Structure 1
Amino acid sequence: MHSNDRGGHVRQDAAGPELDRLMVSAAEGDREAFAEVYDVTAAPVMGLVRRILRDTAQSEEVTQEVLLEVWRTSGRFRPERGSAMTWIMTLAHRRAVDRVRSAQASQDREHRAATLSEDTPFDEVAEQVETRMEWQRVRSCVRGLTDIQRETVVLAYYGGHTYKEIAQSLSLPLGTVKTRLRDGLIRLRRCLGGKA
């Protein structure tokens, strides 16, 4: 079969080696070669994307995205690894699946937001009590630290000071401050029920 029709364009039934050659030319910046790649591949890409998305408008949009990606990334095509059509259809499949996943994630987020916004009874008193109990537990654990550990933990986490600032404030070497803070945090973690 001859690979060109009367207008000089690649026929769809001759997309194999001729399409590979056109892709290589497109990668070198040949816009006419890419126009032919577009003509040959637009319908098959649209067909694949449409089967996955089942929505004409989205399928058209994704098809355009895929063909734009083919133009932008044509330099990555390697004929020795497979045919141009396989490469393009793989891009199309991935892009369509990504769109489905994105739409599903969006629906899931909307569903969660709707579920959260429903009038669920909320017990503010219980939350306040729970918060107060957590604070009391933390305070109790902080009181259980040695004076040196407590001082560095309070300066770092309640005062927002850096290691260097704590070292200067307490007139201690930086390494000593780091060791005291680490030891204090290990004790706090144990006290609060975490792993050491």
Structure 2
Amino acid sequence: MTDTSVRERDEAADSVDALLLRVAAGDQPAFETLYRTTAGKLLGICLRVLSDRAEAEDVLQDVYVTVWNKAGQFDASRARAVTWMGTIARNRSIDRLRALPAPASRASIDLAEAAHDPAPSPAVQAEAAGTRAQLDDCMEQLEPRRKTLIRTAFFDGATYEELATRSGSPLGSVKSWIRRGLLQLKACLEQ
């Protein structure tokens, strides 16, 4: 940063400090100038915390009411006026953010009935568990070769050709073993 830009920045900060001291004395034109000079920066602080422009603008109004009422408390030996006002803006924005209801609780109650829950209901889950237990019992009744072929075909997604290659058996035999195994499973599940 060049000496010129540092000097300009310091002069601008001194100007805002002087405006705030005049506001503390009740100078309304100084307050208007202070507002025009700092509103953009303070709105940016509010927007960064709230991310809703309408809420940020409401908070900004509260910030300037606070600045008008508490300008006499500003101590130039502790901080610059912009820093003091920025702290007020940040704190007010955080307070507003905490006071806002959570986004989920702001949704209309009418929307709750329209929301679809993809998870199965407890009744469906219980029925599925019972069916799974029955299927496991029936699978245990199959001879080991049929049980292995069916598990590999249906749970691993292997094709008949892959099963024939893996088992070293003819394709027609593999198809027959699986077909007979499925018929046996069907009969067991219907009991």
Greater RCO, 1 or 2 (C-alpha within 8 Å, sep 6+): 2
Provide the TM-score with structure 1 as the length reference.
0.47
Greater Cα radius of gyration, structure 1 or 2: 2
Output the TM-score relative to the length of structure 2.
0.48
